[in-house]
Structure 1
Amino acid sequence: MDFASPSRNRARVYNRRILVLKLGAADMQRSAVILLLGLLCSRAAAQEAIPSAKLLEDADVLRRIYERAHPGLYRYNTKAQMAGHLAALRAEFARDRSLGEAYVAVSQFLAKVRCGHSYANFYNQPRGVADALFSGRNRVPFLFRWIDGRMIVDRDFSGALKPGTEVLAIEGHPVAEILGKLMTIARADGGNDAKRVAYLEVRGKDRYEAFDIFLPLFYPGIGERIGLEVVPPGAKGPLTLAVAAHDRAQREALGKEAQQPAGADPWKFETLEGGAAYLRMPGWALYDSKWDWKGFLDRGMDALIDRRAPALIVDLRDNEGGLDVGNVLIERITAREVRGGIQRRYTRYRTLPGDLVPFLDTWDWSFKDWGDKAVPDRAGFYRLTRYDDDANGDVIAPRGRRFEGRLVVLVNAANSSATFQFARLIKDNQLGTLVGQPTGGNRRGINGGAFFFAKLPNSKIEFDVPLIATFPGERPLPDGVVLPFLDVPDAGVEPDVPVKPRAEDIAAGVDAELEAARALLKGRR
């Protein structure tokens, strides 16, 4: 069962037709004017006040949808706590707000659910909202990581910053203050703050990055020139400078650069020194792909077996998830059946209340009615048997020729959906060695699998609604009672070999996790 986020590769498919016109000089001028007017109109829309009464109506729609459809609403909050969070949202909407202010308020409310799949998804926003909020030239012109609360540049596009440079302040605002504010909108499961911090890095992997979106929403003064206070590698003290900001198109170009060319395989087996194989898998979001990824993996594993490769390093860093790709790998490396543990699936309804339908969209309307596959359980929950009725948990059986070499998996906090589940299976069943940082996700279970995309009637802000919750071991408690999980950590999966990121490694161009994996295979760790 796929517990993927629809953030990178929505299941909704849009057919876009591109009309290519041959324009004369006059037509091109008119087009440029129209484009500029459109940009100005979108910025005006972002600042235009939405009446309080309309926003309060939106808050009520959000409440009704989550109370009736979100199966993890009370996983980390009691009913009283969620009521308090809703009251805080309504207090924000007690006066007229701009679209940007409303988007921040909704995002802060959704973050309090503490569900990694509950957020105002950048990729699913209507065009008017996306153009109004995401189009400015106000993005920092560098990529960075958070290391112990420090913002460390790992790739620069301004020509002014070296990898390993520490940014102390942006437009006079200390980065600690910025991180603190942005943590209020960061999505993650339960108490996994490492995932929240990783979510607020700029890695150049996607068209939209949370830091890019929310920095100018929290700090509207940030514009086309951005003042920085920095400490370059080896410098004795801080420097101040100004850099030209990036816009959405420049950031999207980086995201495309990070992806494989159209038609190319997104993954690649390589051979490292000593014969070990290396498989980089930057994403598993292959919902609409026609690529035979299963065949690619089987051919690759057969090739490793034929040449008797001593080990396979699978690099899942920065891979949130997607399809259950990891199961196919496990089938080829395990000598026994692998059970995922008892991960019971629950939904909040059998038949979706009809009054919610006008606000929702999805790729599969069968999610409206689970029928006899949703069995009444304890108050407020239905046991979902549509995908798996096995009371002993999911079972992955050996398949084909077995790869008997050593398995090492590189992980970090981005692994929060299908990649989290894979890391958990590898760790719990001792199938390989995890190297890197603790994963995202949460051992107490996550929400996902099936989704509605909800649109608020007045602000038009979209938010994702996960429909299936997994719970480890025993069933969830009655509606509104937080399950204590006293014996289950409120955290992701811990690596077997922890590797702490360092600014010095970034400055030197050292891939610390990969080097640790190589050392492990050579017996030096």
Structure 2
Amino acid sequence: MKKSVFLFVFILCTYSCVSIKKYNNEIYSVHSVSELSKDVDIAYTQLQKFHPKLYQYVTKEKLDSLFASLKNEIDKPINSYEFYERLAQVIKEIRQGHLMLHPPTQKYSKAQLKELRKLKFEFFELDFELLNNKLWVKGTRGADSTIVGHEVLAVNQEFSKKLVYRYKSLITSDGYNKTYYNRFVGKNFSNFYYAEKGFMDSLNLLLKNRDSIYFKTLKWINKGVVFAKHTDSIASARKLTSLEKLAIKEKQKTKRKEGRTRGYVPQRDHFLRNLEFIGEDNSVAYLKIRSFGDGNQRKFYRETFAEIKRRKVVNLIIDLRDNGGGSIAEIKNLYSYIAVQPFQLVNKAAIKTKIPATKAMISSKNSSFFEGILQLFAIPGLLVYDFLHVKTVKGNSFYNLSESKLKKPKKNNYKGNIYVLINGYSFSASSILATNLKATKRAIFVGEETGGAYNGTVAGQYKYVTLPNSLVSMKIGLMQIESPYKSAQIGYGIQPDMKIIPSQKDRLIGKDPELDWVLNSIFNVNKN
């Protein structure tokens, strides 16, 4: 028995190593015109079969023409990344922000991954932001903090403006919105660069700080290295002591425990949900929500609004800036605490496939062979679940979401003033929440137009498709998620009542102009 198990594991590992090598060879090799033509056909067929709002922003005639033109334009063999760039130019014309393409990237063996996990690439430790059409270093996560606030002029001798322009051409927002592009590319700049360039031992940034222009080399370093900032503003690297490592582990342990409710993200050392009280008398509640998802959100909101009621708060600030969305169940729960009348958060979801949950699970990328086996046993149950939730009316299919049912506000619901901070990366679920608050005139909005559309988006469940020749992957939303409220201005996000765009100067001095405007409005009213 032991010999059989050993043999099975040996064969599995050998097959894995061979398949990884074959995969890497395929993604860097050029593919024939006929192979890529087949991939184009498969991509369009899958979209037509599963996307419920494929022609919402583009006519069928135009999209047919765009896909046909793409096939004609590919007249010589090209590699997977080049094909991804060309296909993305067509996909973006559909103008559905959740519809995304991903180029194939290099895979690593278990031995390689084991070594890489001991290291961190300084480039991936940087956070970037696009402001005033310039790329800036917004923050660092363990990397050299002395470069925060400096402008990135070039990466490996390629101008950042050229890179940003190219990466913007690979994505789309919901409808005709423009604010999402800068936010998304800024937040994901290092991911875009890696997808294009592949593995790098190091790279050089050309940075600008006021009148000074200089190079900064970023490398792979040991995870046990931290940077100490001296008074002369030059950062030096040193290894952590045993006591420092122990202190960090204890701190992370405490945060993970607290994160069971607030949702802890160890890679960024922050919580998804934060509640603070501002002002001399702590009369203003500030609720920062980075994403809707991890952690016991029910417990968090129950405790949050109990505390808000106990303190007799009359002004609540909900910060949805850079909140890319997440769980619709969480926004329904949150909304039940701030709604003042019975509500239906969303409509029943329009669908093309009658088994969206099943399709999503079958097409998902399994993290292991054994998880894939377990999922096979779950299919019958999911099929029944889908069958019970789908209704067909006059030939159109709809999915009965629990969030589409009429719901009463919580008994201890908050009835005071609400201010909502938004920006271009307020997307998906955060835009659905914002739509309901805006339509019911429940809140004042400050910031910039949301990236997510007012009239809904195609999300909920996803079908993952890997094109067989190029290995480019495509994520297709299967449900039209929309609130009962509609705007006559089709294809745009929730507009702010007070438009405020932060500047790089604001970032450098640590100023938050959107939050400052709200606090000044509140405290000035209270004085009068």
Shorter-chain TM band: 0.7 to 0.9
What is the rounded CA distance, in whole Å, between the counterparts of 2:51 and 2:353 in structure 1? 9
Amino acid at match of 2:325: G
How far apart are 1:118 and its partner, in Å? 0.8
Amino acid at match of 2:475: D
* Equivalent position of 2:159 in the other structure: 174
* Equivalent position of 1:115 in the other structure: 96
Structure 1 unaligned segments of length 5 or more: list them. Answer: 1-35, 203-208, 251-256, 475-484
- The one of 274, 277, 283 aligned to 1:268: 274
* Equivalent position of 2:4 in the other structure: none
* Equivalent position of 2:233 in the other structure: none
Q: CA RMSD in A?
A: 4.3
More helix by share: 2
Q: Indicate conservation of the 8 Å contact 1:165/1:507, yes or no.
A: no
* Equivalent position of 1:18 in the other structure: none
Q: Indicate conservation of the 8 Å contact 2:339/2:413, yes or no.
A: yes
TM-score normalised according to structure 1 size: 0.72
How far apart are 1:199 and its partner, in Å? 0.8
Could you say what secondary structure the match of 2:492 adopts?
coil
- The one of 21, 39, 59 aligned to 2:40: 59
Amino acid at match of 1:244: L
- The one of 279, 282, 288 aligned to 2:290: 282
- The one of 64, 75, 80 aligned to 1:99: 80
* Equivalent position of 1:334 in the other structure: 339
Q: Which has the higher contact order (CA 8 A, sep 6+)?
A: 1
- The one of 400, 416, 423 aligned to 2:411: 400
* Equivalent position of 1:20 in the other structure: none
- Equivalenced residues, count: 447
* Equivalent position of 2:495 in the other structure: 494
Amino acid at match of 1:335: V
How far apart are 1:520 and its partner, in Å? 2.5
Could you say what secondary structure the match of 2:349 adopts?
strand
How far apart are 1:384 and its partner, in Å? 0.8
The structure-2 alpha-carbon separation of the partners of 1:512 and 1:245, relative to structure 1 and needing over 3 Å to count, comes to farther
Deviation string, structure 1 residues 405-435 (Cα, Å, up to 9, x no partner):
3222222211211110101111111212222
Identity of aligned residues (%): 18
What is the rounded CA distance, in whole Å, between the counterparts of 2:293 and 2:361 in structure 1? 28
* Equivalent position of 1:443 in the other structure: 454
* Equivalent position of 1:457 in the other structure: 468
The structure-2 alpha-carbon separation of the partners of 1:308 and 1:285, relative to structure 1 and needing over 3 Å to count, comes to same
Amino acid at match of 1:215: Y
Structure 2 unaligned segments of length 5 or more: list them. Answer: 1-16, 225-251, 264-272, 366-374
* Equivalent position of 1:315 in the other structure: 319
- The one of 150, 153, 162 aligned to 2:134: 150
- With 218-227 and 492-501 compared, the bigger mean Cα shift is at 218-227
**1:239-388 equivalences in 2 (<5 Å):** 239-245=213-219, 261=256, 264=259, 265-266=262-263, 267-273=273-279, 274-275=281-282, 276-286=284-294, 291-324=295-328, 325-340=330-345, 343=347, 345-350=349-354, 360-361=363-364, 365-366=382-383, 373-377=390-394, 382-387=396-401
Q: Indicate conservation of the 8 Å contact 2:345/2:403, yes or no.
A: no
Deviation string, structure 1 residues 215-263 (Cα, Å, up to 9, x no partner):
35556898722241x331xx2x35131321569999xxxxxx9x96366
The structure-2 alpha-carbon separation of the partners of 1:508 and 1:40, relative to structure 1 and needing over 3 Å to count, comes to farther
What is the rounded CA distance, in whole Å, between the counterparts of 1:357 and 1:491 in structure 2? 28
Residue 49 in 1 paired to residue 50 in 2? no
Could you say what secondary structure the match of 1:523 adopts?
helix
Q: Indicate conservation of the 8 Å contact 1:268/1:280, yes or no.
A: yes
Could you say what secondary structure the match of 1:154 adopts?
strand
Amino acid at match of 1:329: L
Q: Indicate conservation of the 8 Å contact 1:153/1:166, yes or no.
A: yes
* Equivalent position of 1:515 in the other structure: 516
Deviation string, structure 1 residues 452-489 (Cα, Å, up to 9, x no partner):
22222233333212112256779xxxxxxxxxx99224
TM-score normalised according to structure 2 size: 0.72
- With 152-161 and 404-413 compared, the bigger mean Cα shift is at 152-161
Q: Indicate conservation of the 8 Å contact 2:348/2:400, yes or no.
A: no
Could you say what secondary structure the match of 2:186 adopts?
coil
Q: Indicate conservation of the 8 Å contact 2:274/2:288, yes or no.
A: yes
Amino acid at match of 2:203: R
Which structure's CA Rg is the greater one?
2
